[in-house]
């Protein structure tokens, strides 16, 4: 029987930051506190999901008076869950409101959704020994063919970085290509909502990118198949710190402690 591997784009992103952190994520999972960063992103995502689904259902654009209570409720629900306030409650709530309002007035008028929060599980490649699948959830597929993902970071990403090595665009464009059978190049857009401002990065992915993705996923599958006790550690990322990595104390942090004095 062939061995099956299923990777999410978040797994690939984690592997890029630190292979050892990916191994520990699954072999020794640690529950992490719910942060204000997560609350901010989830509240805005949930409200956008409502707007998109309502438009698909009714064929009409929901009014601001209709959607304003939705973001208010989503914000209330998410903020009640926060255990780690990385920004103050007041700043978090203000940013949630401003980000959603910016999306509604500046981004949404140009869109017409055909799918929102679209789940997928597609075959990427198959050899005599293994199958590799990709799974995930796409934020928004537009009638125009554009695939979109909403981000709520504290500051915009660098365009050149995302165009050069973003995994999400490659995975999502491939998944949509599998769904409609059209394997030509696909447009993908990262929409960053930062403190009430809209920033976008347009990325195009196609067959060459998807072939490269196959090689990347097979290499990760080879590493998993090796059944090693540890993987290489990635130190050259913002993620390698006690603030961000839940497993810090199990690798580099075992030697540097919780306050590395950088």
What is the tens place of the pLDDT at every residue in 51-99? 999 999 999 999 999 999 999 999 999 999 999 999 999 999 999 999 9
On the question of pLDDT at 262 being above 90, the answer is no
Domain positions in the chain are 3-30+113-225, 36-110
pLDDT given for residue 261 in this prediction: 85
DSSP state of 93: H
Tokens encoding 113: 């959704």
Contact criterion met (CB below 8 Å) for 213 and 124: yes
Instruction: Give me 68's structure tokens.
Output: 């304003």
Beta strands in the chain (DSSP E): 3-8, 113-126, 130-142, 147-151, 186-194, 197-205
Name the CA radius of gyration of the chain, rounded: 20
Report the first-to-last Cα separation within the chain, whole angstroms.
50
User: How many Cβ atoms are within 10 Å of 9's Cβ, its own excluded?
Assistant: 21
Tell me the C-alpha to C-alpha distance, in Å, between residue 91 and each of 27, 39, 182, 195, 217. 36, 12, 44, 9, 40
Task: Give the global pTM.
Answer: 0.95
- Tell me the per-residue pLDDT of 209-239, one tens digit each, with 9 for 90 and over: 999 999 999 999 999 999 999 999 999 999 9
Residue 189 pLDDT > 90: yes
Q: Are 122 and 94 in contact (CB under 8 A)?
A: no
């Amino acid at each position: 029987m062939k061995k099956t591997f299923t990777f999410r784009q978040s797994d690939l992103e984690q592997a890029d930051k630190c292979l050892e952190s990916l191994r520990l994520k699954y072999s020794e999972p640690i529950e992490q506190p719910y942060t204000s960063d997560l609350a901010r992103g989830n509240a805005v995502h949930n409200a956008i999901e409502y707007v998109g689904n309502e438009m698909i259902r009714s064929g009409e654009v929901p009014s601001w008076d209709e959607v304003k209570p939705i973001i208010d409720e989503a914000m209330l629900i998410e903020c009640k869950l926060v255990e780690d306030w990385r920004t103050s409650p007041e700043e978090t709530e203000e940013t949630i409101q401003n980000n959603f309002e910016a999306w509604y007035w500046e981004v949404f008028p140009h869109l017409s959704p055909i799918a929102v929060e679209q789940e997928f599980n597609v075959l990427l490649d198959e050899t005599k020994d293994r199958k590799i699948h990709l799974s995930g959830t796409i934020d928004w597929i537009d009638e125009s063919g554009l695939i979109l993902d909403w981000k709520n970071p504290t500051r915009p990403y660098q365009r050149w970085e995302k165009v050069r090595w973003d995994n999400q665009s490659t995975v999502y464009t491939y998944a949509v290509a599998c769904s409609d059978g059209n394997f030509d190049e696909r447009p993908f857009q990262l929409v960053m909502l930062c403190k009430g401002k809209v920033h976008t990065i347009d990325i195009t992915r196609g067959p060459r990118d998807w072939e490269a993705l196959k090689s990347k996923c097979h290499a990760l599958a080879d590493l998993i198949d090796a059944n090693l006790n540890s993987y290489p550690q990635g130190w050259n990322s913002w993620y390698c710190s006690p603030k961000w990595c839940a497993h810090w104390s199990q690798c580099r942090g075992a030697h540097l402690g919780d306050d590395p004095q950088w």
